[in-house]
Amino acid sequence: MDISAYLDRFGLLAVGLIAFVAILMALYGLAELASRRDRNRAVATVFLAPAVLFLLVGLVYPAVRTFAMSFFGSEGDEFVGLRNYAWAVSDPDALQILINTALWIIVVPLLSTALGLVYAVLIDGRTGERVYKALVFLPMGISFVGASIIWKFVYQYSGTGENQIGLLNAVLRGLGLQPVNWLTEFPMNNFLLMVVLIWIEVGFATVVLSAALKGVPIEMIEAARIDGAKPAQIFWNITVPSIRSAIVVVAVTVFIATLKLFDIVRAMTQGHYGTDVLAHNMVEQAFRLNNDGRGATLAVLLFLLVVPVVIYQVRNMRRQELEAR
């Protein structure tokens, strides 16, 4: 496409934006002429219109189109009904992808939240607490690809008889054991990849849960100690119930981040050796294998996995608001 075509498109975009702004200004002018009650509604409508429009164009329309594409073949021109969904739940490779994804969304949120909570409790109120938080939070500043490269060096395998530059294999050689090609050993390789995301998300969990711990009433803890409660009893019966909402927020956030996982799998194994997950294979199907139908089907499955968690979180927030009142 030559430069003139780009200029033509830019001109059309500029004209469209100008027209859109002019329409908003006209509607706002009409709202000023209306009665007070109608004016407030009209002004609210005018200012909400761009957000609603962008939501429809950027979210609702792509979601509906993706759902429709999941009923068509690879080229998007042949209606195949539920054939793509049947493939997703019957094909051995697709089933392995679903199993891997299930393992990720169970193990990663659970361990990230649990380790973050334990670490937050251990450093709470101690000298140097800010330094300890900063140290565990540092991985959050690294991109998923950067973290994957770091851990790929940890798992690096150079072959039997070769000098091992990978940390784990260097330790094994130091102990007189044979090195292991960690990233090709199924199913262990899946859990080794999970370590990368857990390493990143523990910092987020620690910071959020540490802030929540500051809100636990010290009077309740002191009263429990006077009554003879042990530290474990205080933790499970007072601390955890008091920060339950923060724990749920952390777990849900990590859960959604895990479902979107693409970078770690792509950078470390490219989905080979039984490590593929939904988000990665969705991109593979749609862009490398040029199968739009299966790619759309995997996208719909991802959406269906997220919806129940979002609904639960919304209801949980509403319940907290009612309790606060």
Calculate mean pLDDT across residues 231-255.
90
CA separation for the pair 269, 272 (Å, rounded):
5
| pLDDT-derived band at 273, boundaries 50, 70, 90 | very high
| pLDDT-derived band at 176, boundaries 50, 70, 90 | confident
- Residue 72 to residues 21, 82, 165, 276, Cα–Cα distance (Å): 38, 9, 48, 23
pLDDT beyond 80 at 18: no
The residues, ordered by sequence, that sit 6+ positions from 306 with a Cβ below 8 Å of its Cβ are 256, 259
- Residue 254 to residues 98, 104, 112, 192, Cα–Cα distance (Å): 18, 10, 8, 17
Q: For residues 239 and 213, is the Cβ–Cβ distance under 8 A? A: yes
Which residue type sits at 159? G
Is the model's pTM score more than 0.75?
yes
**What's the chain's average pLDDT?**
84
- Residue 213 to residues 110, 248, 250, 257, 280, Cα–Cα distance (Å): 19, 14, 14, 24, 36
Of 94-108, 179-193, 202-216, 307-321, which range is least confident?
307-321
The residues, ordered by sequence, that sit 6+ positions from 13 with a Cβ below 8 Å of its Cβ are none
pLDDT beyond 90 at 195: yes
pLDDT beyond 80 at 228: yes
More confident: 143 or 75: 143
pLDDT beyond 80 at 160: no
pLDDT beyond 80 at 36: no
How confident is the model at residue 4, as a pLDDT?
45
